[in-house]
């Protein structure tokens, strides 16, 4: 044998033989195939060489076949160029088998070109020879010819699992025969004057085989049946004589010529079923040995493994072959595949030989993955499909995504609120912040606080940010320069220069510094920090305010509560250094020594404290030693607002704002406000985190005029709403809308990409003449309630976003666009502003398909006809108008939901739309 | 918290794709056995409601349309055809009980102009109307769009990836942002339709629709991969000016390409992890912050941190191998607070 061949063991799923100058048995250390039959991709499995068997007669292997035998798992039949077939027991050299005693000697000196054991009748060996004038080229040898019934190995699934004692005895008998020179007998011979190219068992159970032979330059594939006198049962000519092989379904044959692969269907073999031409010679071609048929081949100098896999039909008549290319691990090394062999036991397992490397390879099954809104991830892998379902999903999702009504001291009970209450108590609608990450949460809380604080003074809600607040003032009033001395050290002459103005004080308040002395404001940063045991921070803030007494108290408290020694040390050191600066403030060297020590502290607040204390006073200090520390932005800003002069302050704040905008640090909103630069900041944050919820919640507070400049703000809101819709959290989405309209005082509107320009401010318009139905928005400054009422009519018939306010319990399929204006439908609104007809074209506006009342009619009690669903959620949404995206019929949500609780089809007669099936919550 | 449940599909051959519709109540799976099966998976159960037979070869991929259009299902197959299925009721009579026989799907459109296996289908964002892209082994991509009256117009882009198209993904419909010198930003016109394709020429190509000549042109291509690109996914985004695409290739690499059109038009490439064996598929979460990668027989999830690096959150295991208790890194906590992410992880 010129080149190395590789063979899987038919007896052990993890063994293979490398057959070249010698036979080497390799054993992979772990089975690639588990109990379940599911293959694990191994790539290069670790292998051990268990046997190394030098052959007696080197280079005299023409072909070989591994004997499928449990008793003798290492016996090979080897065909030689001189026509002799020898048996080698690789495991046991002393075995007489290996002494060359058992041979099948040729009658004529011609090469044995092919050998094949019958997998079902392991006593049958098929051999093929070169042409000889008078001899047959095909022979079946029975190595158990004495009339004994041949034991069959149940080989269907591979291992003869139930290989009984009798079988073993049978093998022993073979053994006996093998040791007897007389043991081998040809039981079938065929093919006089023909040359065999390749052969294969076709239906091993019935002892049928196929072979490709040449006679008079005609290449023919024949299927032989030893039971039939004439021998051949099927014959057809072929152009591909080599690598003949048969598939597992015992229906297809494949063979190759130099560069072409042919696949034949034995039921209609006249014409090749598949002809595939390749650019390079075919190196090897073989069907897999188990499982559904797959034909693998490799071509010269190519690392690619070609695979034709068959897709069977239940009706077995038109199988389809799918060509697939596989890249093997070998491909990384750009080595051509030299050979491969299919495993006998594992369907998709191969050994690939490339260069000197072997790869135990499992053909990867295609696996796909898809995110889906409700079920998380959907993953298919081969024959299996997995969905990862989040248990407690809805709760989890709901609390993750949105708000809660924080009413009547019941913090966690969601939606326990009637609409009346919620509209009357806009103040107490709060965001459910608990599910957010800590930093985001505190930031949003802070922003809310800022808005609250500033909104009393100025126009309703724009939060302008520290920079703008200071800028607005500066032309008119200048900050007053003061000298502040350390509290409790009354007689000291050492002071620090501070700058003061009303605006600067507001800044201090915003940053949470104002409550040191008075607890009037809602925000007590100190207290919240103390709760988190941030004693050093609080102490630092007091130090920055030169309130040494409180700082000491805080540190003592921390020391007592937390028992941290270092806090006590710190307070001593602080006190000492302050005293020292008081007395030695002109002693440069002392300060230098001291500060060089304090710079070694690890904690930024501690370092900043000492740096502040040790900085000599001056008029235009920039305090880099404090402001460049890793302090919270709050503290930096408050500090700067206290100790920097106007010019430096502006520069510093601009710098800080730019930094946080770059980083997308939400804290920076303190500086930028929710103006354009603030929006850019949020966008940067969003780009990094994809945290659309935070962005959308903040967007609520962005003033309307900024919306015009930064249109993407609207996209955050819409993106969030679309996301909620996709998650089927329509109620949350509607709550979000309501909340938003409360904050912004505008009627909510929904996204429509293409009519946005036309209809930007008019969310609802007559379906016939497109006249906006909204009354003047000015009427509804306080509550948006009356505005929407008249607008409970569809604008355009194109519904793009499936907007639905409903909950699970309420009506399901109808999409509700008016939900956006749902705040309008609250009961206290008067029926007197009803619009029954369009004011312009006088067309009657849509009515509820159940009660036939105008959709703008408030329903006092919808339960007259149906039992109301015992679901709290309906309370909120029952007044909303809802409709189906497909048939566009709809009505009052409560009516419709009651209808669909009992029916599947649209309430409109002759409309067969099964509205509820669209999202299936009712199913 | 997370379970991975094996779903019994009843397919006789390899499953090639499984897709949930917009609301996650219909699960469609397709297989080499030429059939498409549709399951009702509402109420945390699964029930086979339809078994669609119409393809004559393995069905490779499926795509559900947006529910605005009544949840059409597009399928593509080795038989060179693309079929569009629509749910129909069998008769005018209302089916009282929604039994397995009650739901029927019929083919409302068949597209057979490809000359080789059609490997991928994807519906465009609903903003563009009913529009479908399909890519074939013949190297071409077809864009089908419905005119609304049951007819479809076809634009075929030839020789997109000459050896074959493996995957397609549409860019989300975001309005383009124009930014002039004064920094005033505005929305200009309609969103530019874009999609990305991946093919056997080892390239990822980005296509965009040019209104003026009413045709698709290649905007750019990305050549980081050095083997077949198997899958590509355009991330959902909430930015006007940032695009993000993930791709995986036979070469075992997974890349995320990002572009910030404010600063440059070049795509920057980040590699995810190191090497994946037989990576097949990538998918973005709804908010575009978590990337799921299916490689060989495992799935891993990747999330970008604030430092711009992708971290592996965890690798869920199948129930069979879950005895080894999948490790959950601490990075999971950081996601817990994020918006809309489906909390997938934890043991």
User: What percent of chain A shows pLDDT beyond 70?
Assistant: 56
Tell me if residue A825 falls in helix, strand or coil: helix
Q: Measured between alpha carbons, how far is A91 from A846 in angstroms, rounded to an integer?
A: 90
Structure tokens at A63: 């072909």
Q: Are residues A16 and A125 in the same domain?
A: yes
pLDDT digits (tens, 9 = 90+) for A326-372: 655 555 556 677 888 888 887 778 887 776 677 777 776 677 777 77
Structure tokens at A551: 């700082």
Q: Measured between alpha carbons, how far is A775 from A202 in angstroms, rounded to an integer?
A: 85
Q: Are residues B115 and B167 in the same domain?
A: no
Residue to mutate among A376, A442, A662, A913, with most B CBs inside 10 A, is A376
Q: Are A31 and A14 in contact (CB under 8 A)?
A: yes
The pLDDT assigned to A109 comes to 73
Rounded to the nearest angstrom, the minimum Cα separation between A402 and chain B is 9
Chain A residues lying within 8 Å of B185, measured CB to CB? 709-712
Q: Measured between alpha carbons, how far is A465 from A670 in angstroms, rounded to an integer?
A: 5
Q: Are residues B108 and B169 in the same domain?
A: no
- Is the minimum CB–CB distance between B126 and chain A shorter than 8 Å? yes
Q: Domain boundary residue among A693, A709, A738?
A: A738
| Interface contacts (A, B; CB < 8 Å) | 300
Q: Measured between alpha carbons, how far is B55 from B105 in angstroms, rounded to an integer?
A: 13
Q: Are A442 and A532 in contact (CB under 8 A)?
A: no
Q: Are A409 and A383 in contact (CB under 8 A)?
A: no
Structure tokens at A636: 């930096």
Greater model confidence, A739 or B245: B245
**CA distance to A204, A377, A762, B187, B189, per residue, from A756 (Å):** 73, 34, 9, 11, 11
Structural domain including A480 reads 438-516+524-738
A216 pLDDT band, cuts 50/70/90, is confident
Give domain status of residue B3, yes or no.
no
CB proximity list for A666: less than 8 A, separation 6 or greater:
A439, A440, A443, A444, A681, A682, A685, A694, A698
Phi and psi at residue B140, in whole multiples of 5°? -105, 160
Phi and psi at residue B312, in whole multiples of 5°? -80, 125
Q: How far apart are the first and last CA of chain A?
A: 68
Q: Are residues B216 and B308 in the same domain?
A: yes
pLDDT digits (tens, 9 = 90+) for A41-75: 333 445 555 566 666 655 577 888 888 877 777 88
Phi and psi at residue B337, in whole multiples of 5°? -90, 0
**CA distance to A15, A520, A831, B108, B141, per residue, from A516 (Å):** 79, 10, 52, 72, 68
- Is the minimum CB–CB distance between B192 and chain A shorter than 8 Å? no
Contact B277 A379 (CB under 8 A): no
In DSSP notation, B211-266 reads TTTTEEEEEEEE---SS-EEEEEEPP-S-SSEEEEEEEETTS-EEEEEEETTT-SP
Q: Are residues B117 and B233 in the same domain?
A: no
Q: Are residues A479 and A602 in the same domain?
A: yes
Q: Measured between alpha carbons, how far is A330 from A351 in angstroms, rounded to an integer?
A: 11
Give domain status of residue B329, yes or no.
no
Only one residue has tokens 């639905």, namely A804
The pLDDT assigned to A753 comes to 33
Candidates A697, A669, A301, A642; CA nearest to A463 is: A669
Instruction: Give me the CATH number covering residue B266.
Output: 2.130.10.10
- Is the minimum CB–CB distance between B199 and chain A shorter than 8 Å? no
Give domain status of residue B326, yes or no.
no
Give domain status of residue B344, yes or no.
no
Give domain status of residue A665, yes or no.
yes
Q: Measured between alpha carbons, how far is B242 from B286 in angstroms, rounded to an integer?
A: 16
Cα A861 to its chain centre, rounded Å, is 47
Chain A residues lying within 8 Å of B228, measured CB to CB? 327
The pLDDT assigned to A868 comes to 38
Q: Which stretch of DSSP H or E encloses residue A199?
A: strand A195-203
Q: Are residues B165 and B77 in the same domain?
A: no
Contact A384 B15 (CB under 8 A): yes
Q: Are residues A616 and A729 in the same domain?
A: yes
Q: Measured between alpha carbons, how far is B30 from B77 in angstroms, rounded to an integer?
A: 10
Contact B338 A689 (CB under 8 A): yes
Burial class (CB in 10 A: 0-12, 13-18, 19+), A176: exposed
Residues in chain A: 923
For CA atoms B2, B4, B5, B7, the dihedral sign is: positive
pLDDT digits (tens, 9 = 90+) for A830-843: 333 445 566 666 66
Phi and psi at residue A562, in whole multiples of 5°? -95, -20
Q: Are B62 and B73 in contact (CB under 8 A)?
A: yes
The pLDDT assigned to A865 comes to 35
Rounded to the nearest angstrom, the minimum Cα separation between A695 and chain B is 10
- Among A233-242, A257-266, A820-829, B221-230, where is mean pLDDT lowest? A820-829
Contacts 24+ apart (CB under 8 A), A100-105: A100/A56, A101/A179, A101/A181, A102/A178, A102/A179, A102/A181, A102/A183, A102/A184, A104/A141, A104/A184
Candidates B38, B41, B46, B45; CA nearest to B11 is: B38
Rounded to the nearest angstrom, the minimum Cα separation between B189 and chain A is 9
The pLDDT assigned to A50 comes to 57
Give domain status of residue A178, yes or no.
no
Residues in chain B: 347
The pLDDT assigned to A29 comes to 64
Q: Are residues B173 and B276 in the same domain?
A: yes
Contact B174 A695 (CB under 8 A): no
Give domain status of residue A163, yes or no.
no
Q: Are residues A550 and A687 in the same domain?
A: yes
Q: Are residues B102 and B30 in the same domain?
A: yes
Give domain status of residue B71, yes or no.
yes
- Among A2-11, A471-480, B181-190, B266-275, where is mean pLDDT lowest? B181-190
Contact B318 A384 (CB under 8 A): yes
Q: Domain boundary residue among A698, A723, A738?
A: A738
Instruction: Give me the CATH number covering residue A92.
Output: 2.130.10.10
Contact B238 A43 (CB under 8 A): no
Structure tokens at A529: 């920090």
Tell me if residue B70 falls in helix, strand or coil: coil
In DSSP notation, A35-88 reads TTS-B---SS--EEEEEEEE-SSTT--SEEEE---SSSTTEEEEE-TTS-EEEE
A600 pLDDT band, cuts 50/70/90, is confident
Give domain status of residue A532, yes or no.
yes
Structure tokens at A204: 């091993």
Structure tokens at B57: 């070869």
What was the ipTM of the complex prediction?
0.76
The pLDDT assigned to B195 comes to 92
- Is the minimum CB–CB distance between B190 and chain A shorter than 8 Å? yes
Chain B residues lying within 8 Å of A367, measured CB to CB? 280-281, 294-297
Instruction: Count CB-CB contacts under 10 A for residue A864.
Output: 9
Structural domain including B34 reads 10-123
Single pTM value for the model? 0.67
Q: Are A202 and A246 in contact (CB under 8 A)?
A: yes
B132 pLDDT band, cuts 50/70/90, is very high
Chain B residues lying within 8 Å of A442, measured CB to CB? none
Give domain status of residue B221, yes or no.
yes
Q: Measured between alpha carbons, how far is A850 from A834 in angstroms, rounded to an integer?
A: 18
Give domain status of residue A328, yes or no.
no
Residue to mutate among B10, B13, B21, B24, with most A CBs inside 10 A, is B24
Q: Are residues B86 and B167 in the same domain?
A: no
Into how many domains does chain B fold?
2
Q: In what order do the strands lie in the sheet containing B268-272?
A: B229-234, B242-249, B254-260, B268-272
Give domain status of residue A398, yes or no.
no
Structure tokens at A335: 């080595």
- Among A449-458, A684-693, B303-312, where is mean pLDDT lowest? A449-458
Give domain status of residue B279, yes or no.
yes
pLDDT digits (tens, 9 = 90+) for A681-731: 888 887 777 777 777 777 877 777 777 777 778 878 887 887 777 766 666
Asked whether residue A38 carries a pLDDT value surpassing 60, the answer given is no
**CA distance to A188, A225, A226, A247, A261, per residue, from A208 (Å):** 11, 5, 7, 13, 23
Which residue in A has a C-alpha nearest to residue B308's C-alpha? A688
Q: Are A300 and A283 in contact (CB under 8 A)?
A: yes
CB proximity list for B72: less than 8 A, separation 6 or greater:
B64, B65, B84, B85, B86, B108, B123, B130
pLDDT digits (tens, 9 = 90+) for B69-86: 877 899 998 888 999 998
Q: Domain boundary residue among A738, A754, A769?
A: A738
Give domain status of residue A503, yes or no.
yes
Q: Measured between alpha carbons, how far is A675 from A681 in angstroms, rounded to an integer?
A: 10
CB proximity list for A191: less than 8 A, separation 6 or greater:
A136, A137, A138, A211, A213
- Is the minimum CB–CB distance between B227 and chain A shorter than 8 Å? yes
Into how many domains does chain A fold?
3
Chain B residues lying within 8 Å of A390, measured CB to CB? 1-2, 342-344
Contact B338 A923 (CB under 8 A): no
Q: Measured between alpha carbons, how far is A388 from A367 in angstroms, rounded to an integer?
A: 15
Give domain status of residue A175, yes or no.
no
Q: Are residues B105 and B165 in the same domain?
A: no
Greater model confidence, A77 or A367: A77
Give the gyration radius of chain A's Cα atoms.
43
CB proximity list for B222: less than 8 A, separation 6 or greater:
B203, B204, B205, B206, B245, B247, B257, B267, B269
- Is the minimum CB–CB distance between B263 and chain A shorter than 8 Å? no
Structure tokens at A87: 């048996």
- In B, residues 284-323, which contact A (CB 8 Å cutoff)? 284-289, 292-297, 299, 304, 306, 308, 316, 318, 320
Contact A380 B17 (CB under 8 A): yes
**CA distance to A4, A392, A821, B20, per residue, from B3 (Å):** 48, 11, 39, 18
Only one residue has tokens 């051999």, namely A127
Give domain status of residue B37, yes or no.
yes
Structure tokens at A369: 């993955």
Candidates A335, A240, A332; CA nearest to A295 is: A240
Greater model confidence, A897 or A180: A897
Q: Are A733 and A724 in contact (CB under 8 A)?
A: yes
Contact A368 B292 (CB under 8 A): no
User: Phi/psi class of residue A147: alpha, beta or left (left: φ > 0; alpha: ψ in -120 to 50)?
Assistant: left
Greater model confidence, B36 or A899: B36
Tell me if residue A901 falls in helix, strand or coil: helix
Greater model confidence, A845 or B287: B287
pLDDT digits (tens, 9 = 90+) for A104-138: 776 677 788 888 888 888 888 888 888 777 777 88
Tell me if residue B147 falls in helix, strand or coil: coil
Q: Measured between alpha carbons, how far is A846 from A792 in angstroms, rounded to an integer?
A: 9
């Amino acid at each position: 044998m010129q080149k190395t061949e590789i063979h899987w063991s038919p007896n052990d799923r993890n063994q293979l033989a490398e057959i070249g100058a010698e036979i080497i048995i390799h054993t992979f250390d772990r089975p690639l195939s588990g109990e379940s039959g599911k293959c694990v991709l191994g790539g290069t499995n670790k292998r051990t060489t268990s046997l190394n068997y030098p052959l007696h007669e080197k280079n005299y292997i023409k072909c070989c076949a591994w004997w499928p035998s449990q008793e003798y798992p290492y016996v090979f039949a080897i065909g030689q160029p001189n026509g002799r077939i020898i048996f080698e027991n690789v495991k046991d050299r002393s075995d007489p088998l290996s002494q060359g005693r058992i041979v099948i000697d040729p009658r004529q000196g011609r090469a044995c070109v092919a050998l094949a054991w019958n997998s079902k009748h392991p006593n049958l060996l098929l051999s093929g020879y070169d042409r000889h004038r008078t001899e047959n080229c095909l022979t079946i040898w029975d190595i158990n010819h004495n009339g004994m019934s041949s034991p069959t190995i149940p080989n269907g699934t591979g291992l003869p699992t139930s290989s009984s004692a009798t079988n073993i005895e049978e093998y022993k008998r073979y053994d006996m025969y093998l040791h007897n020179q007389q043991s081998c007998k040809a039981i079938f011979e065929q093919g006089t004057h023909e040359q065999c190219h390749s052969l294969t068992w076709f239906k091993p159970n019935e002892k049928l085989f196929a072979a490709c032979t040449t006679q008079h330059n005609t290449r023919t594939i024949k299927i032989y049946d030893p039971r039939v006198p004439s021998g051949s049962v099927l014959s057809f000519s072929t152009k591909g004589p080599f690598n003949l092989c048969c598939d597992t379904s015992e229906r297809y044959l494949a063979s190759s010529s130099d560069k072409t692969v042919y696949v034949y269907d034995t039921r209609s073999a006249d014409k090749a079923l598949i002809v595939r031409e390749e650019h390079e010679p075919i190196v090897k071609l073989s069907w897999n040995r188990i499982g559904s048929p797959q034909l693998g081949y490799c071509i010269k100098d190519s690392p690619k493994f070609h695979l034709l896999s068959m897709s069977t039909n239940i009706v077995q008549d038109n199988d389809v072959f799918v060509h697939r290319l596989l890249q093997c691990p070998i491909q990384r090394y750009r080595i051509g595949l030299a050979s491969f062999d299919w495993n006998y036991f594992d369907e998709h397992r191969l050994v690939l030989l490339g260069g000197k490397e072997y790869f135990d390879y499992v053909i990867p099954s295609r696996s796909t993955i898809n995110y889906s809104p409700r079920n998380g991830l959907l993953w298919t892998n081969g024959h299996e499909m997995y969905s990862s379902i989040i248990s407690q999903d809805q709760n989890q999702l709901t609390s993750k995504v949105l708000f809660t009504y924080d009413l009547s001291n019941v913090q966690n009970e969601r939606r326990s609120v009637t609409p009346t209450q919620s509209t009357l108590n806009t103040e107490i609608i709060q965001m459910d912040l608990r599910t957010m990450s800590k930093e985001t949460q505190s930031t949003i809380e802070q922003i809310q606080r800022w808005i609250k604080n500033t909104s009393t003074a100025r126009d309703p809600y724009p939060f302008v940010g520290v920079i703008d607040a200071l800028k607005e003032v500066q032309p008119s009033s200048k900050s007053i320069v003061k000298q502040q001395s350390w509290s409790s050290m009354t007689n000291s002459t050492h002071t620090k220069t501070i700058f003061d103005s009303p605006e600067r004080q507001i800044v201090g308040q915003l940053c949470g510094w104002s409550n040191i002395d008075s607890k009037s404001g809602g925000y007590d940063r100190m207290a919240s920090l103390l709760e988190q045991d941030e004693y050093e921070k609080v102490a630092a803030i007091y130090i920055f305010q030169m309130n040494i007494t409180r700082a000491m108290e805080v540190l003592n408290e921390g020391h007592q509560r937390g028992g941290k020694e270092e806090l006590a040390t710190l307070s001593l050191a602080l006190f000492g250094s302050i005293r020292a600066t008081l007395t030695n403030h002109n002693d440069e060297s002392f300060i230098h020594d001291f500060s060089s020590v304090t710079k070694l502290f690890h904690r930024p607040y501690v370092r900043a404290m000492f740096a502040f204390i040790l900085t000599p006073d001056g008029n235009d200090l920039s305090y880099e030693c404090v402001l460049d520390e890793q302090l919270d932005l709050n503290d930096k800003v408050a500090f700067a607002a206290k100790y920097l002069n106007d010019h430096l302050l502006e520069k510093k704040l601009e710098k800080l704002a730019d930094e946080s905008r770059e980083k997308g640090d939400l804290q920076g909103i303190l500086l930028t406000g929710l103006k354009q630069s603030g929006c850019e900041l949020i966008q940067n944050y969003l780009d990094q985190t994809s945290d659309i919820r935070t962005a959308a919640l903040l967007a609520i507070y962005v003033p309307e005029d900024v919306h015009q400049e930064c249109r993407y703000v609207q996209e955050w809101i819409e993106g969030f709403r679309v996301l909620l819709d996709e998650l089927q959290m329509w109620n949350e989405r509607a709550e979000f809308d309501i909340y938003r309209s409360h904050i912004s005082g505008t009627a909510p509107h929904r996204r429509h990409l293409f009519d946005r320009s036309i209809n930007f401010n008019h969310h609802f318009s007559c379906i016939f003449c497109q006249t906006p139905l909204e009354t003047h928005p000015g009427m509804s400054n306080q509550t948006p309630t009356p505005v929407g009422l008249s607008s409970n009519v569809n604008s355009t018939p194109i519904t793009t976003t499936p907007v639905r306010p409903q909950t699970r319990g309420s009506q399901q399929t109808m999409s509700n666009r008016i939900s956006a204006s749902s705040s309008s439908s609250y009961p206290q609104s008067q029926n007197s502003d009803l619009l029954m007809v369009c004011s312009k074209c006088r067309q009657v506006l849509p009515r509820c398909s159940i009660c036939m009342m105008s959709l703008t009619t408030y329903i006092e009690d919808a339960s007259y006809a149906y039992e109301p669903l015992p679901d709290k959620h309906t309370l909120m949404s029952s007044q909303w108008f809802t409709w189906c995206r497909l048939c566009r019929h709809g009505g009052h949500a409560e009516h419709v939901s009651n209808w669909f609780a009992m029916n599947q089809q649209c309430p409109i007669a002759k409309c067969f739309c099964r509205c509820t099936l669209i999202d299936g919550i009712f199913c | 918290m997370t379970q991975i449940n094996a779903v019994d599909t009843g397919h006789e051959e390899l499953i090639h794709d499984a897709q949930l519709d917009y609301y996650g109540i219909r699960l469609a799976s397709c297989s080499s056995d030429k059939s498409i099966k549709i399951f009702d998976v509402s109420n945390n159960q699964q029930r086979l409601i339809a078994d669609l037979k119409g393809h004559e070869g393995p069905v490779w991929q499926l795509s559900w349309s947006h529910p605005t259009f009544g949840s059409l299902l597009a399928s593509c197959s080795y038989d060179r055809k693309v079929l569009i299925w629509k749910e129909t009721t069998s008769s005018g009579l209302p089916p009282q009980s929604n039994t397995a026989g009650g739901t029927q799907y019929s083919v409302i459109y068949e597209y057979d102009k490809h000359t080789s296996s059609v490997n991928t289908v994807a519906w465009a964002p609903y903003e563009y109307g009913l529009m479908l892209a399909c890519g074939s082994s013949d190297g071409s991509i077809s864009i089908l769009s419905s005119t609304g009256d049951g007819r479809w117009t076809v634009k075929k882009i030839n020789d997109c990836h000459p050896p074959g198209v493996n995957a397609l993904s549409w860019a989300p419909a975001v309005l383009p942002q124009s930014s002039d010198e004064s920094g005033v930003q505005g929305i200009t016109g309609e969103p530019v339709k874009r999609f990305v394709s991946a093919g056997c020429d080892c390239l990822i190509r980005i296509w965009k629709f040019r209104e003026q000549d009413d045709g698709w042109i290649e905007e750019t291509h990305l050549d980081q991969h050095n083997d077949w690109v198997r899958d590509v996914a355009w991330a959902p985004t909430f930015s006007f000016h940032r695009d993000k695409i993930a791709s995986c290739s036979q070469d075992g690499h997974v890349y995320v390409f990002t572009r910030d059109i404010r600063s440059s038009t070049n795509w920057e490439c980040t590699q995810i992890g190191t090497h994946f064996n037989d990576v097949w598929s990538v998918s973005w979460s709804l908010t575009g912050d978590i990337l799921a990668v299916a490689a060989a027989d495992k799935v891993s999830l990747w999330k970008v941190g604030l430092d711009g690096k992708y971290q592996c959150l965890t690798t869920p295991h199948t129930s069979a191998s879950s005895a080894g208790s999948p490790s959950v890194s601490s990075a999971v906590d950081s996601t817990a607070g994020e918006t809309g992410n489906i909390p997938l992880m934890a043991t």
